Chain A
């Protein structure tokens, strides 16, 4: 080795040492995120990109996939909207009223976060079946819930229930009742008070909760797969379709439809972030 190259490498090393070394917590965070999160996500996207665009389009828009999107996204949207309305009512009742068992009921709202989804699916399928506690009351009217699209909806209602309640509750607690009393004393009707005084500051948190619930319902697998009959074009949801594709070793099919789901998740995540930024307007 010549002296000049030696000094060059030495100066390179000393320059390398001058680069501020990332602290341990950053190193660990990046390495862990890379192994556990980034590499798997990239693997899915790269696998999808090995197919030709025409092939991707054909799989992503095949009739069975389209009907699965319909069942998944439309049902999730409807149930998230129902829970949007019910969530506001529940949050209102829990924050403003005092009644027996309120605390227990309030704590029970988190049950869908804590109860494994397979258990939720099992008990919902039993209760809403023709011979179940609630299903047997509905059967005389010709309403079948378990093993139909309605069953999918009930499972999604269960899974997305806590989100709106938990996003609205803290905002509602901050709103002083004086505001409503002022509106009322100025002659506003109850409806006007709700529409003009209460709803505007609550709206960002309601929409955030609906988006979170929607996102959870769209991705839900465990409870739906047990409650539904999983019949194509009837009550087959997209995650079950992906699972069936994998079971048939159709990796291309699973990858493309999985990428569609991943894309949908990213869009919803972006929407939630925008909604939260919008909600911060009211924080002062």
Chain B
């Protein structure tokens, strides 16, 4: 202490008081805030999530197995998988095309077009279903035409697919677009000057660069496609064993006071959600590492 010359402009704080002061300042609000967050998340998210798993196996494995052997349940599961199997690839191709088109071109109305692609996120799924009914329903635009051709869209699988595609339309495009913008056109242009065809550029240069963003979009599309309720309930009529996906099965079983059945189907969907979150987390870490490099 004696050897040190007093310097009023020294940036070095006196360590003793500072750390104590900081600790006093830091510790209390920190604990209170963490407490508030944990209680809030428990009330709104965690307890409800845990409840799904508890209730599903409340009646033991027997009740659970009984439900998943029902014909209606198996049918609902198959339909849910079908929704994802068709909506996900279609929206992926669209998402990549739209993102490529939008990323490589500046034109008036570009922001507007991006907002329009976002519309299915902000419009109520019920309104989405209503639009499809107004188009393809009995009294709809194409109704008479379809009826004379003997094609059934509303209260049948095609309508449910259209509804699913509508509500999951933006995910891939929205996840891939920022990645493409970040990447810039230089790599693709270099490949082109070196004589690569458009396909080669896409497969060898573009796709590897956007793969994580694309996968992220795919996961979100899939989760929504399998879990969609509102839009599908409007167009499907929720006919038991015919046009019911798992979410519709959950709701109907609950309304019929078959709580056990409802939770058995719900737990499968909750597992899907958990898998989705885990994959999301893995992808987020992968891209975070890539960004840091």
Contacts and interface: CB of A to CB of B under 8 A. Distances in A.
B289 interface: no
12 contacts: A28-B93, A33-B116, A43-B140, A89-B37, A105-B41, A116-B272, A118-B250, A239-B126, A239-B127, A246-B133, A266-B122, A272-B122
A240 B269 CA distance: 23
A272 B41 CA distance: 26
Given A40-B135, A251-B139, A265-B119, A119 B266 contact: yes
A122 B262 contact: yes
B287 interface: no
A38 to B, nearest CB: 8
Interface stretch (B43-51, B62-70, B185-193): B43-51
A121 B277 CA distance: 19
A126 B55 contact: yes
A158 B48 CA distance: 10
B38 A105 contact: yes
B131 A44 contact: yes
Contact of B124 (A28, A124, A221): A221
A111 B120 contact: no
A114 B33 contact: no
Interface string A209-250: 000000110111110011000000000001110110010000
A109 B36 CA distance: 15
Contact of A108 (B46, B132, B234): B46
B165 interface: yes
Interface string B124-149: 11111011111100011100000000
Nearest to A112: B45
Interface residues of B, number: 83
| Size band of the interface chain A makes with B | 35 or more
Interface in A115-173: 115-127, 133-134, 154, 157-158, 161
A127 B229 contact: no
Contacts of B234: 243, 246
Contact of A119 (B29, B52, B116, B121): B52
Interface in B249-272: 250-251, 254, 259, 262-263, 266, 269-270, 272
Count chain B CB atoms within 10 A of each CB in A26, A47, A221 and give the residue with the most: A221
B210 interface: no
A123 B267 CA distance: 10
A71 interface: no
A221 B42 CA distance: 23
A44 B248 contact: no
